[in-house]
Amino acid sequence: MAARVSGSSTRERVLDAAVATLAAQGFSRATARAVAATGGFAPGVIYYHFDDLEDLFVATAQYTSAARLTRYQERTAGVDSAVELLARLRELHQEDQAGGHVAAVQELVAAAVSSPRLAQQVREHREAWQAMAEELIRGQIRGQLFEALVPVRELAAAAVGAYLGLEMLSHLHADPVTPEALFAAALPAATMIDAFRRK
Amino acid sequence: MAARVSGSSTRERVLDAAVATLAAQGFSRATARAVAATGGFAPGVIYYHFDDLEDLFVATAQYTSAARLTRYQERTAGVDSAVELLARLRELHQEDQAGGHVAAVQELVAAAVSSPRLAQQVREHREAWQAMAEELIRGQIRGQLFEALVPVRELAAAAVGAYLGLEMLSHLHADPVTPEALFAAALPAATMIDAFRRK
Report the chain A residue with the minimal C-alpha distance to residue B158: A162
Residue B199 has pLDDT above 80, yes or no: no
Chain B residues with beta carbon closer than 8 angstroms to that of A114? 26-28
Average pLDDT, chain B: 89
What percent of chain B has a predicted confidence (pLDDT) above 70?
95
Report the chain A residue with the minimal C-alpha distance to residue B124: A174
Q: What tens digit of pLDDT does each residue of B14-70 get? A: 999 999 999 999 888 999 999 999 999 999 999 999 999 999 999 999 999 999 999
* Cβ of residue A132 closer than 8 Å to a chain B Cβ: no
What confidence category does residue B8 fall into, taking pLDDT thresholds of 50, 70 and 90?
low
Q: What tens digit of pLDDT does each residue of B163-187 get? A: 888 888 887 877 778 888 889 999 9
C-beta separation of B167 from B102 below 8 A: yes
- Position A176 scores a pLDDT of 75
Amino acid identity of residue B126, one-letter, is: R
Chain A nearest CA to B16, separation (Å) = 21
Q: Which residues have a Cβ under 8 Å from the Cβ of B33 and sit 6 or more positions away?
A: B43
- Position A7 scores a pLDDT of 44
ipTM at complex level: 0.81
- Please give chain A's pLDDT, 199 residues, in tens: 444 444 459 999 999 999 999 999 988 899 999 999 999 999 999 999 999 999 999 999 999 999 999 999 999 998 989 999 999 999 999 998 888 888 898 889 888 888 899 999 888 888 999 999 999 999 998 888 888 888 999 999 999 888 888 888 887 877 778 888 889 999 988 998 888 876 5
Give the closest residue to B60 by CA, choosing from B114, B113, B103.
B103
Are the beta carbons of A177 and B157 separated by less than 8 Å?
Answer: yes
pTM assigned to the model: 0.84
Report the chain B residue with the minimal C-alpha distance to residue A168: B165
**Alpha carbons within 13 A on the beta-carbon side of A136:** 26
Give the closest residue to A161 by CA, choosing from B104, B96, B179.
B179
Are the beta carbons of A161 and B169 separated by less than 8 Å?
Answer: yes
| Number of Cβ atoms within 10 Å of the Cβ of B141 | 18
Longest dimension (CA), chain B: 60
Give the closest residue to B137 by CA, choosing from B89, B82, B70, B184.
B82
- Position B162 scores a pLDDT of 87
Report the chain A residue with the minimal C-alpha distance to residue B131: A176
* Cβ of residue B26 closer than 8 Å to a chain A Cβ: yes
- Position B110 scores a pLDDT of 83
Give the closest residue to A17 by CA, choosing from A43, A54, A48.
A43
Q: What tens digit of pLDDT does each residue of B10-30 get? A: 999 999 999 999 999 988 899
Chain A residues with beta carbon closer than 8 angstroms to that of B130? 176
A178 in the Ramachandran plot: left (φ > 0), alpha (ψ -120 to 50) or beta? Answer: beta
Backbone angles phi, psi at A51, to 5 degrees: -65, -45
Chain B nearest CA to A9, separation (Å) = 31
| Number of Cβ atoms within 10 Å of the Cβ of A129 | 18
Amino acid identity of residue A81, one-letter, is: S
Between helix B82-98 and helix B179-196 the angle, nearest 10°, is 160
Q: Which residues have a Cβ under 8 Å from the Cβ of B134 and sit 6 or more positions away?
A: B152, B153, B156
Residue-wise DSSP of chain A: -PPP--SSSHHHHHHHHHHHHHHHH-GGG--HHHHHHHHTS-HHHHHHH-SSHHHHHHHHHHHHHHHHHHHHHHHHTT---HHHHHHHHHHHHHHHHHTTHHHHHHHHHHHHTT-HHHHHHHHHHHHHHHHHHHHHHHHHHTT-TTGGG--HHHHHHHHHHHHHHHHHHHHTT--SS-HHHHHHHHHHHHHHHHHH---
Give the closest residue to A34 by CA, choosing from A59, A6, A1, A60.
A1
C-beta separation of B125 from B26 below 8 A: no
DSSP B78: T
